[in-house]
């Protein structure tokens, strides 16, 4: 009875904390400007299924994709066993579904064990790639400090969780063979799980029965504690993409790459010149803000992008400007955006719902103009992202702020702007001379 109460308190506390953290992140994302995305639902569902669920874009790099698939499939399938653990914890049973499901139960737990072994291999491989092999995109400057530690923490949590699973199953296998398992009268001489039926006796056969009961309980409780620890660690980690990849891919742009959005603030002023029936929406006497200076000038979808970032670095390693030594890193753009909106959110929370100016902004304090102008808008980062994040949209917003609000642009662009304004073309000659080339011999 005491264990049931403790389990109920654990599941209540863990779920409540996760709900509070998830609600906070949702609140921070909605600090962005509102936009409406309701078009092409069937196409959006297809995109979500292929990209988020099917991991389609991951396989551009087969080796890390296969390793990631091990962890991903294991994470999905092991939730089936979690259902039984929750039921057992709340009712005081042990392997409550084993008797009714019979061979299918053995098959499912065996499948989970095989996937857990594959996940174990993937975990070790990722730890090796990050800390010993030092893959270049995983050792860049923006990953120093917390990002690197975060990646290792989640891998070690995965490693620990797998160990608990096999402690639980292995000890229980030996106990059942001795007739001392919590689960009795199931009609078999062993559970017969694919891995545990060999690993359990190999490790635990010489251990006394009371010690096996302790090992099995440590594995059982350790498993569920790690699940809730992982759940509540997600909101503070880049691994939040496990959950946000689905809405992020659903709401990702369906436009062709290279098709940019016009600023409504400009369109609203210019359109009446071409369409006399158009009625401006914005108040001509109200101040108009162009582009993106701070994170709250971005849309909620931009902020969802930032929270969905896996920090895998595929965008940065595909960026021709970064490859050639420029300061731009699309991954850093997303990490900076997330860091800034978190800072703004904490500011609002600590000041009872009101933002108190802290003298900072996304442009300048987090992202420099050098980074913004290094981008050549090739869309390589957008194409490479495994969850359809769009760093380019943020970069363009920052550029619009620099040009339209601060009148800061490279000299080459300033010359082009002047020519367009005076001559109606990027070139430095009058419109009447533009066709003179046809008279050249």
In this predicted model, what pLDDT tens digit does every residue of 103-155 receive, in sequence order? 888 888 899 999 999 999 999 999 999 999 999 999 999 999 999 999 999 99
Same domain, 331 and 376: yes
Q: Is residue 395 situated within a structural domain?
A: yes
pTM: 0.90
Which among 309, 325, 320 is positioned nearest to 391, based on CA atoms? 309
Q: Answer yes or no: do 310 and 411 share one domain.
A: yes
In a domain, 179, yes or no: yes
**DSSP three-state, residue 30:** coil
Nearest to 398 by CA among 425, 365, 420: 365
Are 339 and 410 found together in one domain?
A: yes
279 and 235: one domain? no
Domain hosting 226: range is 2-30+61-249
Measure the CA–CA gap between 311 and 2, rounded to whole angstroms: 43
Q: What is the pLDDT of residue 262?
A: 83
> Do residues 414 and 279 share a domain?
yes
pLDDT tens digits, 19-45: 999 999 999 999 999 999 999 999 999
Tens digit of pLDDT for each residue in 231-273?
Answer: 999 998 999 999 999 999 999 999 888 788 888 888 888 888 8
How many domains does the chain fold into? 2
> Is residue 290 within 8 Å of residue 401, measured between CB atoms?
yes
Residue 414 lies in a domain: yes
Lowest mean pLDDT among 17-21, 47-51, 199-203, 299-303: 199-203
Residue 259 inside a domain? The answer is no
Domain membership flag for residue 313: yes
Last residue of a domain, one of 188, 222, 249: 249
311 shares a domain with 165? no
The rounded mean pLDDT for the chain is 90
Can you tell me whether residue 38 is helix, strand or coil?
coil
CATH number of the domain within which 287 lies = 1.10.1060
> Do 174 and 113 sit in the same domain of this protein?
yes
Cβ–Cβ < 8 Å for 18, 235: yes
Q: What is the pLDDT of residues 153-175, one digit of tens each?
A: 999 999 999 999 999 999 988 88
Give, in order, the Cα–Cα distances in Å from 166 to each of 173, 177, 182, 207, 326. 10, 16, 17, 16, 48
User: Do 135 and 129 touch, CB atoms closer than 8 A?
Assistant: yes
Same domain, 203 and 299: no
* Residue 275 belongs to some domain of the structure: yes
Residue that finishes a domain, picked among 190, 220, 249:
249
> Do both 374 and 315 map to the same domain?
yes
Q: What share of the chain is helix, strand, coil (3-state, %, to 5)?
A: 70, 0, 30
197 and 293 share a domain?
no
- In angstroms, the CA 324 to CA 321 distance is 5
**DSSP, res 357:** P
Q: How many CB atoms lie within 10 A of CB 347?
A: 15
Closest to 322 measured CA to CA, from 372, 364, 375, 388: 375
Is residue 298 situated within a structural domain? yes
Q: 367: which strand partners?
A: 363
Residue 42 counted as domain residue: no
Residues 217 and 320 in one domain: no
């Amino acid at each position: 009875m005491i264990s049931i109460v403790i389990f109920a308190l654990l599941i209540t506390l863990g779920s409540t904390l996760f709900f509070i953290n998830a609600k906070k992140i949702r609140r921070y994302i909605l600090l962005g400007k509102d936009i409406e995305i309701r078009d092409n639902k069937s196409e959006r569902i297809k995109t979500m299924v292929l990209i988020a669920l099917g991991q389609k874009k991951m396989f551009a790099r087969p080796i890390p994709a296969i390793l990631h698939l091990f962890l991903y499939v294991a994470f999905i399938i092991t939730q089936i066993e979690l259902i039984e653990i929750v039921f057992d914890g709340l009712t005081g049973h042990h392997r409550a579904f084993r008797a009714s499901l019979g061979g299918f139960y053995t098959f499912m737990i065996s499948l989970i064990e095989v996937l857990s072994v594959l996940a174990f291999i993937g975990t070790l491989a990722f730890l090796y790639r990050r800390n010993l092999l030092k893959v270049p995109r995983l050792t860049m400057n923006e990953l120093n400090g917390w990002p690197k530690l975060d990646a290792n923490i989640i891998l070690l949590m995965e490693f620990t969780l797998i160990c608990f699973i096999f402690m639980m199953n292995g000890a229980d296998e030996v106990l059942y063979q001795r007739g001392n398992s919590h689960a009795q009268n199931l009609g078999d001489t062993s559970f017969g799980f694919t891995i545990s039926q060999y690993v359990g006796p190999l490790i635990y056969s010489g251990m006394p029965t009371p010690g096996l009961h302790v090992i099995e309980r440590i594995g059982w409780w350790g498993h569920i504690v790690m699940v809730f620890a992982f759940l509540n660690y997600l909101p503070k980690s880049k691994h939040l993409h496990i959950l946000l990849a689905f809405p992020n891919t659903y709401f990702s742009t369906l436009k062709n790459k290279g098709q940019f959005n016009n600023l409504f603030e400009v369109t609203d002023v210019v359109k009446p010149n071409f369409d006399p029936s158009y009625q401006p929406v914005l108040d001509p006497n109200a101040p108009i803000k162009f582009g993106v200076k701070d994170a709250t000038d971005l849309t909620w979808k931009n902020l969802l992008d930032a929270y969905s970032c896996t920090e895998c670095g595929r965008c940065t390693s595909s960026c021709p400007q970064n490859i050639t030594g420029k300061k731009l890193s699309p991954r850093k753009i997303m990490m900076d955006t997330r860091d800034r909106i978190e800072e703004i959110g904490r500011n609002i929370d600590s000041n009872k719902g009101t933002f108190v100016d802290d003298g900072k902004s996304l442009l300048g304090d987090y992202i420099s103009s050098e980074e913004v102008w290094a981008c050549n808008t090739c869309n390589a980062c957008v194409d490479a992202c495994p969850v359809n994040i769009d760093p380019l949209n943020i970069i363009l917003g920052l550029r619009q702020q620099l040009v339209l609000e601060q009148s800061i642009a490279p000299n080459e662009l300033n010359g082009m702007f002047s020519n367009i304004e005076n001559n109606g073309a990027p070139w430095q000659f009058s419109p009447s001379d533009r066709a003179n080339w046809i008279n050249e011999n």
